[in-house]
Structure 1
C-alpha cells in the first residue's frame, strides 16, 4: 500500500516556489478582494433569509489549478477560516460543495479545480444592525507546484451590498452542498471494517445509488487515516458494495465501533450519511 504523505503548512512552505501572503498591517483596512498571479478570492453577500445572512468565499484559480476539500487526500491541505475579527457576528457556518477526486504528482487529492464557492451562513448578534465579516484564510493552490496562500478580506454585510451575481453563484454553490438524503433516496445496508490481504479496509453497501459505476465515497473518521478511492466489488438485488483501502499516517488502529461520515457522490448529487463502523 502506498505510504501516505501528510502535507502540513511547514512542508508546504518549504516545497513551494512562492508563498503568497496578503495580511493587513496594523491600521490598514482589509480589502474585500485578494488577488495574486495564482489565485484570487473575495467575500460575497446574497442578502438575508430567516434572520441569517447568506455570504460566501469565492476562490478562483488559474486554469488547471486546484484547491482542497476539508479532507484533502494525501497530497494537499484543507482551507482554514478565521472569522474572529468580524463585527456583530454571533456564528458563521462554512459549507463545502461536493468535491472531486484527482491524481497528480502529489498523489491522490480531493478538492476543486479552477474555482469554488464556499457558502457561509452568518448569524448576526443584533439582527437590526449590519454585520462586518473579516476573514483570515489559509489555503493552498496546486499545479506543478503548490503555493500556500494567506489572505485577509473583509465585507460589510447589509442590504446595500447585496449582489445579484452573488445571489446566483451562491444559489448554485448551496445546491451542490451534500445533504442528508430524503427517506427512501439512500439506504446504507452495511458499513463495516474488513481485512484484505492483512490490511485494513472498509466495506460499504448502499441501496439507491443511481450511477454506481461513477459513484465516489469520501470517508471522514477520527484519527490519522486516509480512505482511498472506493472499488465497486459487487452488485446484487439493487445493493451496490464498495471496498475502500485505508492508509494510516501512524500505527494502524481499528475503526470498528467508531463513528464515520460518508459523503457520497452520485453523479452531481452529494449525499451524507453518518454511522458507526461494525
Structure 2
C-alpha cells in the first residue's frame, strides 16, 4: 500500500469515527446515604428536550422492607423532601411511580417494596449554568414496625448533558402514570365515568374503567384534599368489556360537599394512568 493509499485509509477511518455518535455513558450519581434498613442516593438522567434536568431519588431497602407513596393509605407516612440547600433551581416536579398495595395491620397501605426510584424534573433558574441539587429526605421504612429514616444526598448537574443513560431511572419513569382526561382513550386505560355510588349501602364512588385490548385494570387509588380516605376497590369485569370499580368512602373532611377535586390513579396494563377531575359530592348525612 502506497503512502497516499495509507493516508486516504486513515482519513476514511477518522471520518467514520467522527460520524459515529459517542456511546451513552452511565449517568452521574451521588454516594449512598445509609440509614437503618435503607439507603438513599440521587441518580441523574439525560437532560430532557425541554431543558429540564432528569433526576431520580433512589431508595434501596433491606429484604422485606417497604416505604410509602405520596398518599400512604391507612397507615404509614409519605416521604418529605427538602431541597432548600440546592442552587440554580427554578422549579421541581416530583413524579411518583404507581404504587403497590399491601396489607398493613388491619388495613392497606400504598408504596414500594425493596426498591424505588422517584423521578424528579428539575427546571434550572439559568439553563446555561450547572445545578447543585441538595436533598434532605425524611422517610419511613417498614417490615412489621415502621422506622423513621433521614437521608442526605447532593448531585452536580451540568447543563445539556444528553449522551448518558440511567436504566434504573428510566425503568421507574415508565411507571409514572400518564395524565389522561375523563373519557375514552385509544391506547391507554380510560376512566369513562366517575360518580357517587348512590345505590351503595355505605357511601362510596363508582368508576367505569376500560383497558385497551390485551390490557387490564389491576388497582385504583383515589386522593382528595384533606382527610379523604377510600377503601380497597372492588373490581368486576362487565359484559361490555369495561371494569366496574366500587370504592367505599372510609373518611372525609368535616363539612366537605359540592365540587370536590380528586386524583384517580389506575394501575394496570399497558401502563398506569392518572385522571384529575371534580366530583359533585353531597354533604354527609348527620
Tell me how far apart the structure 2 counterparts of residues 107 and 248 of structure 1 sit (CA, whole Å): 13
For 1:81-111, what per-residue CA distance to the aligned partner results, in whole angstroms no more than 9, with x for missing partners?
1111101111111111111000032631000
Match of 1:92 in 2: 92
Match of 1:232 in 2: 235
Match of 2:267 in 1: 265
Q: Is the 8 A contact 1:67 1:141 kept in 2?
A: yes
Gaps of 5+ in 1: 1-30
Q: Which has the larger radius of gyration?
A: 2
Tell me how far apart the structure 2 counterparts of residues 128 and 159 of structure 1 sit (CA, whole Å): 6
> Where do 1:162-201 residues align within 5 Å?
167-181=166-180, 183-184=185-186, 185-195=188-198, 198-201=201-204
Q: CA deviation at 1:198?
A: 4.7
Q: CA deviation at 1:252?
A: 7.3
Structure 1 pair 209/229, CA: closer, same or farther in 2 (3 Å)? Answer: farther
For 1:24-43, what per-residue CA distance to the aligned partner results, in whole angstroms no more than 9, with x for missing partners?
xxxxxxx7431024100001
> Aligned pair 1:206/2:205, yes or no?
no
Structure 1 pair 75/99, CA: closer, same or farther in 2 (3 Å)? Answer: same
Tell me how far apart the structure 1 counterparts of residues 272 and 202 of structure 2 sit (CA, whole Å): 29
Tell me how far apart the structure 2 counterparts of residues 268 and 240 of structure 1 sit (CA, whole Å): 15
Gaps of 5+ in 2: 1-29, 281-286
Tell me how far apart the structure 1 counterparts of residues 199 and 248 of structure 2 sit (CA, whole Å): 9
Segment of structure 1 superposing worse, 135-144 or 195-204: 195-204
SS at match of 2:169: helix
User: What's the TM-score, normalizing by structure 1?
Assistant: 0.79
For these two proteins, the number of residue pairs brought into alignment is 246
- RMSD over equivalenced CA pairs, Å: 2.7
Tell me how far apart the structure 2 counterparts of residues 163 and 44 of structure 1 sit (CA, whole Å): 15
SS at match of 1:96: coil
For 1:159-198, what per-residue CA distance to the aligned partner results, in whole angstroms no more than 9, with x for missing partners?
799996x611111111111102494234333211124665
Relative contact order higher in (CA < 8 Å, ≥ 6 apart): 1
> Where do 1:1-278 residues align within 5 Å?
32-50=31-49, 51-105=51-105, 107-158=107-158, 167-181=166-180, 183-184=185-186, 185-195=188-198, 198-208=201-211, 215-233=218-236, 235-248=238-251, 251=254, 253-254=256-257, 257-267=259-269, 269-278=271-280
